[in-house]
């Protein structure tokens, strides 16, 4: 029986974004505060996903052995280190979150059946690497607060109440929405980045947070005058807003995840086609809202 198991590890390290072939002004323009000497640090959290068949003892791998391999090959070397100097790879390609994940994969792949490396720089920024050459995924998370009412404009109050329950009450209700935006792209062989992180944050701020935060979605966002602002529809709309600006930054929008509440979230996976088609994964049926 095939199975994937995950092992968590962590390390604390510092790094600096600086390319010696660029001037100080050029480095600051490209990397901002990340250029400050002697660097800055993070408490990194690492998840290693491993695949295999269940053995007679009910295990894919002996996780005690996995722990020791990760410590020997990765965390004992990176913990309390200055990343730019600790591994030669980071002198060629800067130790961004996505590039650290890639190099960790390379260090562990000869010893473990890895299928994914996920590295959190902090709770609102993480990278995923699946062993596909220089391709990686980078996720930023943020939030906004908004109110909405679930009611189809062509239905009566009674019909809407039957479909959406309490969520159809005339004066609406609100949520603290948690938003995750995942982009994918090729890691630049020198900067270690798949996208300008500052520019990505500005795109999400300008296209989503500024217009959405502290609004009544049905009334303040024209799109939702005729479209019911379910979590699914909100996530779909956000994905369409972000797709082109992210492509202009040189990456592709891969996923938008919107967490409406601890019990209800939606994920929109964007396709590689030129159309606006998307696929959605929802952890609760559209009409089950109470």
**What is the model's pLDDT at position 58?**
87
Q: What is the set of active-site residues?
A: 167, 214, 260
154: its two tokens: 């062509």
CATH number of the domain where residue 86 is located: 3.30.479.10
Residue ending a domain, among 97, 131, 165, is: 131
Task: Based on the fold, state whether residues 25 and 119 are members of the same structural domain.
Answer: yes
Task: Based on the fold, state whether residues 179 and 237 are members of the same structural domain.
Answer: yes
pLDDT at residue 289 above 80?
no
pLDDT at residue 45 above 60?
yes
**Phi-psi category of residue 231: left, alpha or beta, with phi > 0 → left and psi -120 to 50 → alpha:** alpha
Task: Based on the fold, state whether residues 289 and 149 are members of the same structural domain.
Answer: yes
Task: Based on the fold, state whether residues 138 and 159 are members of the same structural domain.
Answer: yes
Task: Based on the fold, state whether residues 145 and 241 are members of the same structural domain.
Answer: yes
Task: Based on the fold, state whether residues 67 and 202 are members of the same structural domain.
Answer: no
pLDDT digits (tens, 9 = 90+) for 159-211: 999 999 999 999 999 999 999 999 999 999 999 999 999 999 999 999 999 99
- Complete DSSP assignment for 197-252: HHHHHHHHIIIIIHHHTTEEHHHHSGGGGTS---HHHHHHHHHHHHHHHHHHTT-E
β partners of residue 178: 143, 259
Higher pLDDT, 54 or 125: 125
Greatest alpha-carbon pair distance for the chain in Å reads 68
Residue-number span of the structural domain to which 151 is assigned: 133-290
Task: Based on the fold, state whether residues 71 and 162 are members of the same structural domain.
Answer: no
Task: Based on the fold, state whether residues 105 and 158 are members of the same structural domain.
Answer: no
Count of beta carbons in the 10 Å neighbourhood of residue 215: 17
Give the separation between CA 148 and CA 172, rounded to whole angstroms: 5
For 265-284, b/e burial (b = at least 16 CB within 10 A) is bbbbebeeeeeeebebebee
pLDDT digits (tens, 9 = 90+) for 48-92: 999 999 988 889 899 999 999 999 999 999 999 999 999 999 999
Express as a percent the part of the chain with pLDDT over 90.
Answer: 90
Mean of all residue pLDDT scores within the chain: 93
Residue ending a domain, among 131, 148, 176, is: 131
pLDDT digits (tens, 9 = 90+) for 211-226: 999 999 999 999 999 9
Domain count, the chain: 2
Task: Based on the fold, state whether residues 164 and 118 are members of the same structural domain.
Answer: no
**What is the model's pLDDT at position 2?**
81
Task: Based on the fold, state whether residues 185 and 102 are members of the same structural domain.
Answer: no
Give the separation between CA 82 and CA 79, rounded to whole angstroms: 9
Residue ending a domain, among 96, 131, 166, is: 131
Task: Based on the fold, state whether residues 217 and 265 are members of the same structural domain.
Answer: yes
Task: Based on the fold, state whether residues 63 and 144 are members of the same structural domain.
Answer: no
pLDDT band per the 50, 70, 90 thresholds, residue 109 = very high
Position of tokens 């010696």?
20
Contact 35, 28 (CB under 8 A): yes
């Amino acid at each position: 029986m095939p199975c994937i198991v995950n092992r968590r590890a962590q390390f604390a390290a510092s790094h600096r974004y600086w390319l010696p072939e660029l001037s100080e002004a050029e480095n600051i323009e490209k990397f901002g505060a990340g250029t400050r000497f002697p660097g800055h640090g993070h408490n990194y959290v690492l998840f290693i996903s491993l695949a295999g068949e269940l053995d007679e003892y009910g295990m894919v791998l002996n996780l005690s052995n996995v722990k020791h391999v990760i410590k020997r090959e990765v965390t004992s070397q990176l913990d309390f280190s200055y990343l730019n100097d600790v591994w030669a790879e980071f002198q060629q390609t800067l130790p961004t979150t996505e590039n650290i994940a890639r190099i960790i994969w390379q260090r562990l792949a000869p010893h473990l059946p890895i299928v994914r490396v996920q590295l959190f720089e902090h709770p609102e920024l993480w990278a995923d690497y699946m062993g596909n050459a220089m391709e990686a995924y980078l996720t930023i998370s943020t939030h906004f607060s908004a109110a909405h009412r679930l009611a189809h404009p062509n239905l009566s109050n009674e019909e809407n109440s039957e479909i959406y329950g309490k969520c159809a009450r005339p004066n609406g209700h609100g949520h603290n929405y948690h938003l995750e935006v995942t982009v994918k792209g090729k890691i630049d062989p020198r900067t270690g980045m798949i996208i300008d992180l500052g520019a990505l944050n500005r795109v999400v701020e300008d296209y989503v947070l500024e217009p959405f935060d502290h609004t009544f979605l049905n009334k303040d966002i024209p799109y939702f005058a005729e479209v019911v602002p379910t979590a699914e529809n909100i996530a779909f709309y956000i994905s369409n807003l972000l797709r082109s600006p992210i492509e202009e930054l040189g990456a592709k929008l891969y996923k938008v995840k919107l967490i409406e509440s601890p019990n209800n979230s939606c994920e929109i996976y964007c396709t590689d086609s030129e159309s606006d088609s998307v696929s959605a994964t929802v952890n609760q049926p559209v009409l089950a809202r109470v």
